[in-house]
């Protein structure tokens, strides 16, 4: 578990005032491996933070994405998910159970052609298929 003082310092380094609600949202994102939606974040934090609003969650997640403290993933139609891990990695979504998993990626090893003259601003690697648990359960 990351210390609240470390999280607050991280927010300050990015020019963000570390309010209690922002700290709770940031902590949840950093600890969650489920790639939650904004609604997931809201529902998870509401019991211990009754003054939290959905608007605050959406605005805070947007701020974290703009400041590169989180990544917004568009891996399902119409539903953004968020990842507190901003390191270089890819995502795999299981089409059966819906789980989203991280996997390591060596971006420099990807063979990409046809982008001469372009400036790449983001690099996302996404695969979709059936996860090992679902494959095992279907045997």
In this predicted structure, what is the pLDDT of residue 68?
94
Alpha-carbon distance values, 13 to 1, 17, 66 (Å): 20, 10, 14
CATH topology for the 4-83 domain: Arc Repressor Mutant, subunit A (1.10.10)
* Prediction pTM value: 0.85
State the pLDDT confidence band at 53, using cuts at 50, 70 and 90: very high
Q: List, as residue ranges, the binding site.
A: 94, 97, 106, 131, 134
Q: List, as residue ranges, the binding site for Zn(2+).
A: 94, 97, 131, 134
Show me where the domains of the chain are located.
Answer: 4-83, 89-137
Q: List, as residue ranges, the binding site for Fe cation.
A: 106
Q: What is the pLDDT of residues 70-119, one digit of tens each?
A: 999 987 777 899 999 999 899 999 999 989 999 999 877 888 888 889 99
Judged against a pLDDT cut of 80, whether residue 59 lies above it is answered with yes
Output the CATH code of domain 89-137.
Answer: 3.30.1490
């Amino acid at each position: 578990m990351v210390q609240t003082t470390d999280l607050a310092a991280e927010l300050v380094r990015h020019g963000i005032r570390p309010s209690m609600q922002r700290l709770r949202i940031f902590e949840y994102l950093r600890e969650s491996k489920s790639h939650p939606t904004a609604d997931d974040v809201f529902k998870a934090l509401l019991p211990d933070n009754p003054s939290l609003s959905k608007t605050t969650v959406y605005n805070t997640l947007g701020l974290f994405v703009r400041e590169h403290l989180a990544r917004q993933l568009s891996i399902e139609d119409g539903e953004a998910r968020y990842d507190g891990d901003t390191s270089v990695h890819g995502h795999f979504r299981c089409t059966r159970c819906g789980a989203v998993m991280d996997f390591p990626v060596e971006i420099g090893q990807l063979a990409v052609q046809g982008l001469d003259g372009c400036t790449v601003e983001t690099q996302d690697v996404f695969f979709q298929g059936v996860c090992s648990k679902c494959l095992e359960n279907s045997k």
